[in-house]
């Protein structure tokens, strides 16, 4: 259901650190990883009344070239929002404080079409910390070990993840949201070039040459070169 203030009006947004009063229950919804280069994205839901928090994931594959054009990530987010609200027993008397991010554009449409009350909000505090923490946990499991990786999104985290991809480009590009326009236009080529010029690539190349040399050496002993009869007679 549309609120009294325009959704695009920044002044209508409130912070969850100091929300306006509400007689019923409040549910907060926030995202993490939707704008990050690497990994799944996560949507977090918090029942302010009892502090319960649940997470839903958006697989990185939905952000590849084929799916991104069809807006599949945002369509998937609508589905998991519906599912999560059911799990939280959302009712008509509840207020939803929804993050202003573009990933929720279709969610806002769904709420308006189905007369679900929500208010745009700047999600801060407990839920923001929790959902960003869930995303960082996911990145750690992928193998991102940088000590500089934090819950703070932005340009610094982008390049931490980009540099991680560069170090093992052939095996790590599958974790990249390749549907981001800038990836194909610019960053993919840079990542490949950095990988090819890296010491790791040189070491791997030397190891491949060494393995090939050992293979040839072993074959020489398994199949020794035969001496023809004609050659022996001539001697």
Phi, psi of 177, rounded to the nearest 5 degrees: -80, 80
Confidence at 214, pLDDT banded by 50, 70, 90: confident
Dist CA 171 CA 153 (whole Å): 24
Tens-place pLDDT, residues 30-74: 999 999 999 999 999 999 999 999 999 999 999 998 877 788 999
Task: Give 96's strand partners.
Answer: 27, 118
Judge residue 186's burial from the number of C-beta atoms within 10 Å of its C-beta, 0-12 exposed, 13-18 middle, 19 or more buried.
exposed
Do the bridges between strand 41-47 and strand 95-99 make them parallel or antiparallel, or are there none, so unpaired? unpaired
pLDDT of residue 225: 53
Tens-place pLDDT, residues 121-177: 999 999 999 999 999 999 999 999 999 999 998 999 999 999 999 999 999 999 999
Domains of the chain (ranges, CATH numbers): 10-133 (3.30.420)
Coil, strand or helix at 121: strand
- Average pLDDT for the chain: 87
Which residue from 95, 71, 81 is spatially nearest to 31, judged by alpha carbons?
A: 81
Which residue's entry shows tokens 């070239």? 65
Dist CA 34 CA 21 (whole Å): 30
């Amino acid at each position: 259901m549309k609120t009294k203030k325009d959704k695009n009006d920044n002044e209508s947004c409130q912070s969850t650190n100091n929300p306006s009063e509400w007689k019923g229950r409040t549910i907060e919804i926030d995202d993490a990883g939707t704008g990050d280069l690497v990994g799944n994205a996560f949507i977090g839901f918090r029942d302010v009344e009892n502090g319960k928090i649940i997470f839903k994931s958006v697989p990185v594959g939905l952000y590849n070239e084929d799916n991104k054009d069809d807006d599949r990530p945002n369509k998937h987010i609508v589905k998991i929002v519906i599912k999560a609200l059911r799990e939280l027993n959302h009712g008509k008397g509840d207020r939803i404080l929804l993050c202003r991010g573009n990933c929720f554009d279709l969610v806002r449409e769904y709420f308006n079409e189905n007369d679900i009350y929500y208010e745009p909000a700047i999600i801060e505090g407990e839920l923001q910390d929790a959902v960003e923490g869930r995303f960082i946990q996911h990145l750690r499991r992928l193998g991102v070990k940088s000590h500089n990786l934090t819950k703070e999104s932005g340009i610094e985290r982008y390049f931490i993840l980009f540099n991680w991809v560069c170090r093992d480009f052939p095996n790590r590009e599958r974790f990249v949201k390749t549907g981001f326009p800038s990836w194909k236009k610019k960053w993919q080529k840079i990542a490949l070039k950095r990988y090819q010029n890296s010491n790791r690539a040189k070491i791997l190349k030397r190891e491949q040459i060494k393995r090939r040399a050992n293979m040839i050496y072993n074959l020489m002993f398994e199949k020794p070169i035969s001496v023809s009869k004609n050659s022996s007679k001539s001697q």
